[in-house]
Amino acid sequence: MNDFLIVFTAVLLALLLQPLIQRKAGHLWSAVSAVNFVRKNGAFLSLYLILAVVAWMVFMIILPQLYMVDFSFRNNLPLAEVGGPKDVHTLKNYEYLIFGRETDEELLNWLHLSVFLKTMLASIFVTLLDLALCYPIAYYMAQVAKGGQARLLVLALIVPFWVNEILRAFAFRILFGTGGVINSFLIYLGIWDEPFDFLRADVGLYAGLSYAYILLMIFPIYNAIESLDHNQIEAARDLGAPWWRIHWRVVIPHAKPGIASACTMVFMLSAGALAAPQILGGPSSLWFTQVIYQWFNTGGNWPQGSAYAFVLLIACIAFVMTVMKIFKVTLGEITK
């Protein structure tokens, strides 16, 4: 009876409101179709695009991340106790990263904090090294090389990346190992007698990481520099500027958004790299992602791992935002 009443009133209401809704809907529709996006793609395609993007964002990115964030504030419980009285939110996973166990002698958890700091610094170093290596290449491709040359160069840059990441990392081991190509060659030349352990000195790691992201560094910068009118470079030169000032005052300011977007990507990916540090890192050095991986894997402590991962993510975003602020680049410019 009750159900019937609800349905009945609902139908009645709907009938009463129908003309109003219809009028409003017409209004709404004209407003929607006035939006450029809908006008360009048509109703069906726009709906599909919006739904697809929203679904992608929500299910693949936002929900898992939120889930992970929530996870990071919980205790690591055996399955039986999940949902029980002990399953409450806590800050202890974060506390652990900073202070370690209460029973420890030291105040701070230096072991993990130093790995974290080292990862950030090393990623900055890798980013800067990549920038220094790739800017001249990007400039050459965009402003100096003639059509055919530039295409050949792009090919030479891309083809090595058909080899997969792990294989490439091992190739770097072979290159830099104590019995590796470089050591053998240098010993053969008589530069030194004892092999130098490049891997222990993390040379292999930095080389491997830098190489892994050169394309991500080159192409955004290339795009930015390519859009620079060549006459501006010549005008600066004609006014007497030496090459470094032309770059400093004309090319780099123009390419700044491209440089920022490339550096952001390379920094984020370096800080989040796992395979290269695993394979090329020296025996004593750890990458922060390796610590996270240990928590999830051998440590079996997902909440702890989530907390570490979340800290890394936030730290990276904060760092990138700060740097962008300092260099006066906005997110809008980067996506141009």
Partner 1 sequence: MSADVELDHLTIRFGDFTAVNDAHLKIEGGEFFSFLGPSGCGKTTILRAISGFNDPTEGKVRIGGKDMRGIGPNKRQTALIFQNLALFPLMTVAENIAFGLEVRGLNKLARRDKANQLLDLIALKGQGDKLVSELSGGQRQRVAIARALAVEPEVLLLDEPLSALDLKLRQHMRTELREIQKRVGITFIYITHDQGEALTMSDRIAVMSAGRIQQVGDGNSVYDHPQTAFVASFVGENNPLMGKVLSVSTEFVTMDCGIAKVRARNLGKLKVGEEAYAFVRPENLKLSVGAGEGEGSLPSENSFTAPVLAEAFEGSVKLISLRGPSKKPIIASIPNTGDGQHFSQGLLTTVNFDAEQAVALPIGDLADE
CB-count burial class (<10 Å; 0-12, 13-18, 19+) for 260: buried
User: Among residues 192 and 248, whose Cβ is nearest to partner 1?
Assistant: 248
Q: Which stretch binds partner 1 (CB under 8 A): 121-129, 194-202, 249-257, 311-319?
A: 249-257
Least distance from partner 1 to the Cβ atom of residue 245, Å: 6
User: Among residues 24 and 249, whose Cβ is nearest to partner 1?
Assistant: 249
Cα angle 163, 164, 167; round to 5: 90
User: Among residues 42 and 242, whose Cβ is nearest to partner 1?
Assistant: 242
Structure tokens at 287: 């990458």
**End-to-end CA separation in angstroms for the chain:** 61
Distance of CA 205 to the CA centre of its chain: 18
Q: Quote the CA–CA distance of 247 and 236 in Å, as a whole number.
A: 10
CB atoms within 10 A of CB 294: 16
Distance (Å) of CA 100 to CA 104, 176, 292, 304: 7, 36, 15, 12
Least distance from partner 1 to the Cβ atom of residue 131, Å: 20
Q: Are 296 and 302 in contact (CB under 8 A)?
A: yes
User: Among residues 197 and 333, whose Cβ is nearest to partner 1?
Assistant: 333
Least distance from partner 1 to the Cβ atom of residue 325, Å: 19
User: Among residues 89 and 146, whose Cβ is nearest to partner 1?
Assistant: 146
Residue from 253, 297, 322, 327 touching partner 1 (CB under 8 A): that is 253
Q: Quote the CA–CA distance of 199 and 231 in Å, as a whole number.
A: 46
User: Among residues 70 and 229, whose Cβ is nearest to partner 1?
Assistant: 229
List phi, psi (to 5°) of 80. -60, -30
Least distance from partner 1 to the Cβ atom of residue 275, Å: 40
Least distance from partner 1 to the Cβ atom of residue 243, Å: 9
Binding flag, residue 250, partner 1 (CB under 8 A): yes
Nearest to 158 by CA among 214, 197, 76: 214
Q: Are 210 and 126 in contact (CB under 8 A)?
A: yes
Nearest to 255 by CA among 218, 215, 235, 228: 228
One character per residue 204-243, x = contact with partner 1 (rule: CB under 8 A): -------------------------x-xx-xxxxxxxxx-
Binding flag, residue 245, partner 1 (CB under 8 A): yes
Binding flag, residue 150, partner 1 (CB under 8 A): no
Residue from 24, 39, 249, 336 touching partner 1 (CB under 8 A): that is 249
Site for partner 1 in 13-32 (CB under 8 A): none
User: Among residues 204 and 257, whose Cβ is nearest to partner 1?
Assistant: 257
Please tell me the total number of residues recorded for the chain in this structure. 336
User: Among residues 81 and 234, whose Cβ is nearest to partner 1?
Assistant: 234
Cα angle 124, 153, 162; round to 5: 70
Q: Which stretch binds partner 1 (CB under 8 A): 26-34, 94-102, 205-213, 244-252?
A: 244-252
User: Among residues 171 and 241, whose Cβ is nearest to partner 1?
Assistant: 241
How many residues line the site for partner 1 (CB under 8 A)? 17
Q: Quote the CA–CA distance of 227 and 40 in Å, as a whole number.
A: 27
Least distance from partner 1 to the Cβ atom of residue 238, Å: 5
Q: Quote the CA–CA distance of 79 and 72 in Å, as a whole number.
A: 16
Least distance from partner 1 to the Cβ atom of residue 36, Å: 25
Q: Which residues bind partner 1 (CB under 8 A)?
A: 229, 231-232, 234-242, 245, 249-250, 253-254
